[in-house]
Structure 1
C-alpha cells in the first residue's frame, strides 16, 4: 500500500503588497489613484502544486528570495494563499521563528507552558513532557529565571526543546537546526533522525547542501517562486548549484595600488584531455590552471590557491612556498600556472577554486570563487573528506 498524503498544495500563489510610502503622512498624500504608483505587487510563490506523503523527508531548496520560507508558512497555515488550496493531515509543528510566543518577563518554566499551549499542547501533556523538555534544552537551574536574562543560546535551546516535544505528525523546519553550540546541534540532528525512524513527515528549508543530502530523500527546488525541480535530493542539490553558479563565481579582490601581476581567470580541467571540468568522482585527479596578466616585469613573486565549500570552509590550501617550488621571472603578457592534485579525496558536494598572486612589492591580487566543480555523490560516507573505508573485523 502506498503511503497517504499528508500535505497537498494545489495551484498555490502568494502575493504581497510592497509599499514605497512607509509613513502615515506619505500615505495620506498618495491617497487614491496616485497611491497605486507607490505600491508594488510581489509574488513570493507562483502557482505551486506539490504532494507530500507520510514518512518522507523533503528539502526545500532555492536561492535567497525564491519563496522557500513563504511556501513553508503556507503549508503550516501561518499565512493564507492568494490563490489555490493547501490541505494537510495530522498534527503539525512549525520550527520557523524559535521563541515566537515567549514573554521576556516570564520565567523559563512559565514560558514552556505558554509556548506549548500556543503550539497546541494541553496543560496535562506539557506537564508530562516538562522534565524531558528541560533536560533536552540543558537550561537546568535557570528554568525559573526570567528569560530576558537568558543568553541567546539558552533562549533558542528552550524554544527548540518545546517545539519538538509537541509530538507532531508533520515537522516544518526553517533554518533552525544550527541553534546552540555544536553538541546541541548534534542533539537536534539526532532528534530529527529519530523522527524519521518513527515515520514522521519532515519538511526542511536549508541552505546547507550537506544537511539536505544527509537527511532528505526528496528535494524541491524553487526559483522566483516557481518549482524548477522535484525529485531525488542529490539531483536537486545539483540543480540548485547550477542555478547559483552564475551568481557566485568570479569575485576579484585587489588593493588600491595596481599590482604588477593579476589573476585573470581560473579553469578546472579534465586531466585526461584538458577539457573544462564540471564534476568528478571522489579519488579522481584534478587539474586546474590560473591565468595571470603581467603588466610589468616581475622578478620575485608568489602564487597559491584554495578550495572552499559554498559556506567558505577551506578544505585545501597551499602555495609555491609551501610546495618548495621556485618561480621564474615574469615578463609582461599572459602567463599560465597549472596545478595538479593526483587524488582529490573530496567528499560529495560542490567546491570553489580561489587563487591569488603576490608581486615583489608585496601587492596582492586574488580571484575568489573563480571556478567551481562538483564531486559526485557516494553512498559510503558523508563529509568534505572521502576515504576508502572498510570493516576489517567484528569480534
Structure 2
C-alpha cells in the first residue's frame, strides 16, 4: 500500500511540473498574482512505529507549517514549506514526548480550476499537494537527531475571504523512510529488515493563504473570461486564414495555391499563379505580346535580337509624374528583362533610372534612383540574384523639350543595359 502511495505521489508531482510548463508556454498575458504565503496550524497524529504499550494522543498540539507558493498558471504550481509537529502519549500509555521537523518541495495542483468549480462557486476551492523532503525527529530518550527522507501527500480545501486572503483546511499524510527510532523514542528493531517506508504521520490543520502581487486576483481564483478565450480562438483562426491568403507576388492567387509565387505584379496568370503561356513555348504570352507591340511600333526592330532591343533602349519601364512605382502597362518590360536574365544565368544588367526636368534637380536625382531601386526589387523578388543587378541613377533627362507633356512621358523611365 505504501509503495502505491509513493508511486501516486511521484506521479502527481511530475504531472504537475510537466503540465505547468506546457500551460505556462501557452499563457499569453499575465492577469493574475502568482505568489502566496500559506500558514497553517493544527493537530498531529503519528501512527507507527511505536513500542508495545506506547500510544500517541489523538489531539497532539502543536502542528504548524509555513509555505511559500508560486503558481506557474491557474492550475499548477510549486511550494517550499517548513513543518513542525510535537506529540505525546495517551493517558493509558507510558509517558513520552517528541518533536518532528521537516522541509519539503511540493507540486501543487489547483483541482478547483481543473474541475471547473467556477461553474458553480467562486468562493470554494480544492488543491492537492505532494512532494519529497528531509525530516528529523528529536526525543529525550536518544541523543542527536533521527534523520530521514519523507514523502508528503495532502488535500487542501479553501474558502475565499477576499482577493488577498483565503481560509484553508488541510489534511496531510507524511511517510518517512528509514526512521531509526520509534515515535516514543526507542530504537526500532524492525528497521534493520525494512529499509523502505516504516513511519507514518498525519496532520490536520487550519490556516490562511495570503496572496501577494499587484493584480486583482491570485491564480487560485482567477478564471479567464470565456469571451476572451473565444476571441483568442477567433483571432488565431483569422491569423491562419490571413497567412493562407497572403499573395506575395500580388497576382491575385493566394500563396498556398500559387505554384509560381514570384511572378511580376501585373502579368496575367492562370488559377495556379503561373504566367499564361497558351502556345507552351516557355515564354509567357504577355511577354510575347509586349515584344510584338514594340516591334510593330518600330519596324526596324523586326530583325533585331532581344539583346539589341534591350541595350538599344526599346525596352523601357515608364512612370507617372513624381512616382517611383511603374505604370501598370510597364510591368511587361520588367517581366521581359526578368525572363531574359533567367534564361541567361551568365548575364547581368544595369537598371538605369531617369526623371524629367520638372522640379528641383536634387529631387529628380533621388527620384531617378528610387525608380531604379523599385524595378531592381521587383526583379529580385522573382528569384534573380541581386548581385546580377546594378542600379544607376541618371537624374534628369534633358534630351527632350521640358515644355512638352508628351515628351516628358518618354523620359520618366527606367531602361536597361546588359553586361
Q: Same fold (TM over 0.5)?
A: no
Which structure would you say has the larger RCO, counting Cα contacts within 8 Å and 6 or more residues apart? 1
Structure with the greater alpha carbon radius of gyration = 2
- TM-score normalized by the length of structure 2: 0.17
Structure 1 length-normalised TM: 0.18
